[in-house]
Amino acid sequence: MQLLKDATPHLMTVGEYFASNIQGHTELIEGIAYDVSPEDEPHAFAVQQLNQFLLPKVMQFGQVLRIQSPIAVPDWQGRNAPEMDVTVIARKQYDRTPTSADAFAIIEVSDTTYDDDRERKIPLYVNAGVPAWIVNIQLRQVEFYGSVADLAIEHGHVFPEHGTINVLGVSIPVADLFTVRPDANR
């Protein structure tokens, strides 16, 4: 019997991935379909808050806000279609998954998956020229990666809980992205 760690994964393109109709909640990174962990309440709250802040401005500028949907990088034949928590894309008819060329900004909310998000997902978009933010639930901060050079900084440009981020002209208080701390009433 061959152990899974010794097995060779079947690599696929974005097109093959969507045609395969894999059961379950997955995303494609480096040609491999990975199971996605379920979303917890702090994660859901942050995504909801980002949606509320960004949606009016995005609609005003004729863009679309995609929530927890894949964005292909760098193109349809590529090996990456991570599911991003919040993406601002161009408003147009898409006959397939939008790509990084269609994206103006991506925001990933990370609670239990920070290391994977920071090391695997964010560099895909930043290398494709898309500015990226990580809402780091554990540290209660937001990190910004606007260029490839920013990837060399351990936590990018950090905005602490008392700070404010600017996403495509929308000011968002960082503290508004987090649920109340359990010990806040003590």
Question: What domains can you pick out in the chain, each with its CATH number?
Answer: 4-177 (3.90.1570.10)
Mean pLDDT, range 135-154, rounded to an integer: 93
**pLDDT of 25 over the 90 cut:** no
Percent of the chain, pLDDT > 90?
44
Residue appearing with tokens 């949907």: 69
Q: What is the residue-averaged pLDDT of the chain? A: 82
Mean pLDDT, range 46-50, rounded to an integer: 95
Count the neighbouring beta carbons within 10 Å of the beta carbon of residue 46: 25
**pLDDT of 170 over the 80 cut:** yes
Q: What is the pLDDT of residues 109-140, one digit of tens each?
A: 998 889 888 988 899 889 999 999 999 999 99
CA dihedral 173, 127, 20, 33 (to 10 degrees): -70
81 contacts 73 by C-beta, under 8 angstroms: yes
Angle, CA of 15, 147 and 107, to the nearest 5°: 60
Residue appearing with tokens 């996403």: 167
Least confident piece of the model among 66-75, 143-152, 157-166, 173-182: 66-75
Task: Between 107 and 71, name the one with better pLDDT.
Answer: 107
> What pLDDT score does 78 carry?
58
> What pLDDT score does 41 carry?
86
Count the neighbouring beta carbons within 10 Å of the beta carbon of residue 31: 16
